Chain A
Amino acid sequence: MRFFKIYGLFFRQYLKGLMEYRVDFLIGMFAFLMSQGAGLLFLYLIFQSVPTLSGFAVEEILLMYGVGLIPKGIDHLFFDNIWLLPRTIIQGQMDRYLLRPISPLYVFLIERFQPDAFGELVLGTILTSVSISRLALNVGFFQVLVLLGIILVGVFVFTSLKLLTASTSFWLKNSYPLMQITYNISDFTKYPLSIFPKAIRFLMTAVIPFALVSYYPALFLLGRLPFWQMFGALVLVTSLFSFLGYLMWNRGLKHYESTGS
């Protein structure tokens, strides 16, 4: 309860800031919309020349793209501050969070709300609903419920991986490249996993498991993968990574030695 109250306080402050920088908000949202738009343009242009990609029609690929974009956007919206962790550690600003009478991770996470993410959220929602209707998929109450479940759990795929890789900066200081390489791989999960060799398929399912929020959910909606197999794997892998991320963060905090100034 206390957590929600504090979030409310932070959020109100944040909104005041947003009102002051309205143009910034529009620019950010438009920029991320455009950056995803470039990915769509690429797909569109390729499908002008070929009818299917590894047996998938364009609508089926857009479904993967759209479904994956929603949890990515939500993570971007609420947990964007993790990107600043390396800098916070290098500058010794972590002290601030340690001195507060509440979980340092919680305070760190809620410090930033990133409305740029609305670009991704809007696009993801449009892509998902349009491709579902164009494919005339049989989507009932159960499927909608599962989709919401995928999105909810899927957010933690992104957040936990970000936390896991960012927390290495407690030791490495600059873990940006590591974070970026992980995040960039999520760009490739909008394509069917089947175009990649086995090693990469394994990598994107179990090691950097972005396929769990795009490719497999799409297969489920297309009726080519049973629910339990898809959702079980998602929950299992996400729990594991959330645990690892939290563990890494805690270990890192113990190792944190500030800057001495």
Chain B
Amino acid sequence: MKRLKKYWPFMRASIMQMFIYRGTIWLWLIVDVFQFAMMVFLWKAVYQNNDVINGFAFTEMLLYYLLTNLFFVFSDVEAIYAVAEEIREGRISLYLTKPISYRLRLYFELLGRSLGILILLIPVVFLTGFTLFLIFDIVWIVTLEQILIAVLYVPLVFTLVFSFSFLFGTFSIYTTNVFGISIFASVFIRAVSGQLIPLAFYPDSLLSVLNLLPFRFVSYPPLVLLGKVATADAWIGLATLAAWVLLFVGGTALWFRASLKKMVVFGG
């Protein structure tokens, strides 16, 4: 714990940084709300002749997307941009000479970023949710245990996606098209995690492949809160995810050490 303490200022600083840009962030969030509204109409058309599709009722589907939007702040691939930029601009060499871990510093910076956005996002999600409850007469029962599990998933999901994005960020040693890489990575995560559409919609053949990957756990918090995953399974999932995270963290550590040898920074 004491070792981690020196990284807190980085986290605090980036939380505060998000507040500097709160106007812009809120503008983005309004964009999201608008897109969410379009989504509601789309699903309404899908549910025109069905009450339940793949285990989801219409209102459950809306809640699923609302919660997915909320938890999405922890599965953003922002690390790609951060790593790539520091490599391309050569700033990475400044960090490497300091007595702090490059990856941990970045981890806490991005965690702070996510927390900052979360704070700004909560009122928006709350208002959107409130409106949905009023319009569609939604009844939603959630237990304390479900909330606890969902919260416990968050740091693991964040670490998983962070490691994954960090790995992709180091690809900028080999290519300059960082925008392309980040689109690739974020579309991939969206599709295999259930952010695009609940994984229950996938055919069995595809699901059996996705079950081999850890990314399905990214959508577990909303699924648990909606009661779509039994709490017993969620606890097992949590342990499985923890093992995956260890693997990912170890893997990126090794990969990063190898990439550092390939990296060339001009000047200083």
Q: Which residues of A contact B (CB under 8 A)?
A: 21, 23-25, 27-28, 30-32, 34-35, 37-38, 41-42, 45-46, 48-50, 53-54, 116, 174, 177, 180-181, 184-185, 188, 191-192, 195-197, 200
Majority DSSP secondary structure for residues of A touching B: helix
CA distance A191 to B43 in the complex (A): 11
Task: Known contacts A48-B201, A49-B54, A181-B31; decide if A27 and B38 are in contact (CB<8 Å).
Answer: no
Nearest 6 pairs of A and B residues by beta carbon: A195-B45, A24-B177, A28-B180, A31-B180, A27-B180, A31-B183
Contacts of A192 in B (CB 8 A): 45
B124 to chain A, nearest CB (A): 14
Q: Number of contacts between A and B (CB, 8 Å)?
A: 97
The size of the chain B interface, using a CB distance under 8 A, is 36
CA distance A196 to B43 in the complex (A): 11
In chain B, what residue has the closest Cβ to A23? B175
Contacts of A31 in B (CB 8 A): 177, 179-181, 183-184, 187
B148 to chain A, nearest CB (A): 31
Mask, B10-52, CB within 8 Å of A = 1, is 0000000000000010011011001100100110111011100
CA distance A188 to B39 in the complex (A): 9
Contacts of A45 in B (CB 8 A): 197, 201-202
- Partner of A50 from the list B28, B50, B188 (CB cut-off 8 Å) is B50
A-B contact pairs, 24 of them (CB 8 A): A21-B175, A27-B175, A27-B177, A27-B184, A30-B180, A31-B181, A31-B187, A38-B190, A38-B191, A41-B197, A45-B202, A49-B201, A53-B46, A54-B45, A116-B180, A174-B24, A180-B28, A181-B34, A184-B31, A184-B35, A188-B42, A195-B41, A200-B38, A200-B41
Contacts of B263 in A (CB 8 A): none
Is B183 within 8 A of A195, CB to CB? Answer: no
A69 to chain B, nearest CB (A): 16
In chain A, what residue has the closest Cβ to B28? A177
- Partner of A177 from the list B27, B176, B190 (CB cut-off 8 Å) is B27
In chain A, what residue has the closest Cβ to B198? A45
B14 to chain A, nearest CB (A): 20
CA distance A54 to B180 in the complex (A): 35
CB neighbors of A among B137-157 (8 A): none
Q: Which residues of B contact A (CB under 8 A)?
A: 24, 27-28, 30-31, 34-35, 38, 41-42, 44-46, 48-50, 53-54, 174-177, 179-181, 183-184, 187-188, 190-191, 196-197, 201-203
Contacts of B187 in A (CB 8 A): 31, 34-35, 37-38
A161 to chain B, nearest CB (A): 15
Is B179 within 8 A of A28, CB to CB? Answer: yes
Task: Known contacts A38-B196, A41-B191, A49-B50; decide if A30 and B184 are in contact (CB<8 Å).
Answer: yes
Is B41 within 8 A of A32, CB to CB? Answer: no
Contacts of B50 in A (CB 8 A): 49-50
